[in-house]
Structure 1
Amino acid sequence: MDYALPRRVAFLLFAIVVVTWGLNWAVTKVIVHSVFPLWATAIRTAIATAALFVVQLARGQLIIPRRGDWPVIAAIALLHMVAFSALVAFGLKFTPVGRSIVLGYTTPLWVVPGAALFLGEPITRPRLVGTALGLLGLAAMFNPFAFDWSNREAVVGSGLILLAALSWAANILYVRAHKWVSTPFQLTFWQTLLAAVVLAILAALVDGAPQINWSPALAGAFFYAGVFGTALAYWAMAMVNRSLPAATTSLGILATPVVGVVTSTLALGEAVDISLLLAMVLILAGIAIGTIPAKRGSAGQDKQALVATIARP
């Protein structure tokens, strides 16, 4: 059974998770330069599945899913762990990490109109303002002075990341509508297991048998992405969400793109221009204004959605 952590410990663990996920984008960029994106995602997910099995078994959280659990297992596995992760991996082959992570974190902006259309949630003034700011951020990122529209790879890469964000948004919408039987963390092992199987089948069909030139650096990158960037981070985030208010975690997770951009600049030598910085500020401000729970009654639902979907790399 998981218990709430002391506040100081919870904040420290939360900071570690944010840094870990921010670094994970740069690590994934390194991996997809050596391994086909589908195989890269499949191997990372398989490593995470094995690590989650050990973590959940050790903590007594490994369960057999009930009938009501399987729809959300399938939704998260297919929409987020397969579609989002694979599209991001493909997109990172053509798009810098900084741009990719900012585009990937536009997801909550697409949730606002989706929730109004499919879930009947009202578009409040804060949500409208937040969405408008986010769209201004996208306009800043794709203006002709900052983005080369004649570069086909750049256009395709950015389009794949945006499509990934839409897949993530569809996943969040389903999670909001789902009636939970087991807890989100208890189902994570089964989600990664299903995703690993589907990804391995897709990779085999599209790319054939994996042909990987293993090196210590590549093995270390896979180990980090699977164990620290996925499995242990999921457990840590579940603990953090039991210990800190939903608004705190919702705001704090917005530091992840900042860490990703800084990491890509320092470790990969990627340039950060004014348009990217402006876009990041506008998009993250829009998310903060439009998606942070304002009412006590909605905090519980938002916290479960955060555990299940939003707080992932």
Structure 2
Amino acid sequence: MTVTSAASEPGDRRGAFLLLGAIILVWGINWPVMKVGLGSIPPFWFGGLRLLLGSISLFLVAAFRGRLTLPALADWPVVATVGLVQMAGFLALVNIALLHVPAGRSAVLCYTTPLWVAPGAALFLGETLSRRKLAGLALGLAGLLILFEPGSFDWSNRPLLLGNAFLLGAALLWALTILHIRGHRWHGSALDLAPWQQLTGALPLLAVAFLVEGGPDAIDWKWSTLLVLAYNGPIASGFAYWAAVAVTRRLPALTSSLAFLAVPVMGLTASAVALGEHPQPALLLGFLLILIGLVLVEYKPRKPAA
């Protein structure tokens, strides 16, 4: 989910850190949950229903708070970008990839987004690409190379190859959305726009699901299916999005952005426990290099006081 960079505002720091822990737990655990859910829900139906349930929960929250309004005309471009590119496009690629790629590996690849944001910000937003950021990019790319293990990778396995490519493509879509958000001049708050963004992403996914995967009878409706949707809609989409916005507004941007890197760690752990996935040494080493690279890219040294 997209969280806009915002200046820290006064608030309950202890509560913010509790929310941060909840986000890491909810999004990390969701990787094996999504893997299980895709056994009974086709990819496009899964993404569309998840966003639809998330948008309904956020609309209810907005109505309860008396803030249910249409976005300003100037905010519709960012609503469309987040809804169609990041949410719909991202979930479509991730869900298809999870059919062929282990959940833990998928979590690592999807959180390489900052590696693609840094050069994009330098190219389109005029941000400085320092030596530290270049070093971080180099380490991150080296980690990706190790993670792929090109010497032992089964290049003839087309579904596995496409799955890994889709995960990197999902990270790139997230990065492109972040670049738009950084350059956008906001009128409504991120939380006010969130239900409209999720609804904008849900509608095309549901339309494609009807055309490509058939009607709702394509879903294997059972109790586990309902539990997966209940977790992914109101909790992993609705609650986690709201919590991420709250954390970003209460804590310094650096603190929150680096803390979110704990999500793939939780994803690897949850996948090992729930699905019996045992990370290979190359995966752990590649993830470590990517993590160090992301820290170098995201880290901003404090300026000395005047």
The 2-side partners of 1:292 and 1:217 are apart by 41
Matched positions, count: 294
Match of 1:176 in 2: 182
Contact 1:73 1:191 in 2 (8 A): yes
Q: Deviations over 1:85-142 (max 9, x none)?
A: 1100000000001111111111110111212222222211121011011001001011
Q: Deviations over 1:137-193 (max 9, x none)?
A: 001011235532232221111011111111111111111111111111110010011
The 2-side partners of 1:192 and 1:104 are apart by 19
Contact 2:55 2:238 in 1 (8 A): yes
Q: Deviations over 1:19-60 (max 9, x none)?
A: 101111111111112111001100111110111111122233
- Identity value in percent: 45
SS of the residue aligned with 1:214? coil
1:264 aligns with 2:271: yes
Alignment-mate amino acid for residue 76 of structure 2: W
Q: Deviations over 1:222-266 (max 9, x none)?
A: 100111101011111122122211111011111000000000000
Match of 1:308 in 2: none
Tell me by how many angstroms 1:7 deviates. Answer: 1.7
Contact 1:141 1:147 in 2 (8 A): no
The 1-side partners of 2:264 and 2:152 are apart by 19
The 1-side partners of 2:46 and 2:53 are apart by 11
Q: Which among 168, 182, 195 is matched to residue 201 of structure 2?
A: 195
The 1-side partners of 2:297 and 2:267 are apart by 22
Contact 2:71 2:193 in 1 (8 A): yes
Match of 2:66 in 1: 60
Q: Which among 137, 156, 175 is matched to residue 162 of structure 2?
A: 156
Question: 1:133-282, aligned counterparts within 5 Å?
Answer: 133-210=139-216, 211-282=218-289
Contact 1:41 1:199 in 2 (8 A): yes
The 1-side partners of 2:138 and 2:68 are apart by 42
Contact 1:5 1:240 in 2 (8 A): no
Alignment-mate amino acid for residue 102 of structure 1: V
Match of 2:107 in 1: 101
Question: 1:82-101, aligned counterparts within 5 Å?
Answer: 82-101=88-107
The answer for unaligned runs of 5 or more in structure 2 is 1-8
1:22 aligns with 2:3: no
Contact 1:250 1:292 in 2 (8 A): no
Contact 2:254 2:298 in 1 (8 A): no
Distance 1:146 1:22, change over 3 A: farther
Alignment-mate amino acid for residue 242 of structure 2: W
The 1-side partners of 2:253 and 2:119 are apart by 22
Tell me by how many angstroms 1:291 deviates. Answer: 1.9
Contact 2:258 2:298 in 1 (8 A): no
The 2-side partners of 1:175 and 1:135 are apart by 25
Please, which moves more after superposition, 19-28 or 146-155? 146-155
Q: TM-score, normalised by structure 1?
A: 0.90
Tell me by how many angstroms 1:294 deviates. Answer: 4.0
The 2-side partners of 1:193 and 1:112 are apart by 29
Match of 2:52 in 1: 46
Contact 1:4 1:239 in 2 (8 A): no
Alignment-mate amino acid for residue 46 of structure 2: A
Contact 1:32 1:89 in 2 (8 A): yes
The 2-side partners of 1:145 and 1:60 are apart by 57
Contact 1:21 1:229 in 2 (8 A): yes
The 2-side partners of 1:224 and 1:276 are apart by 28
The 2-side partners of 1:49 and 1:140 are apart by 38
The answer for unaligned runs of 5 or more in structure 1 is 297-313
Question: 1:278-289, aligned counterparts within 5 Å?
Answer: 278-289=285-296
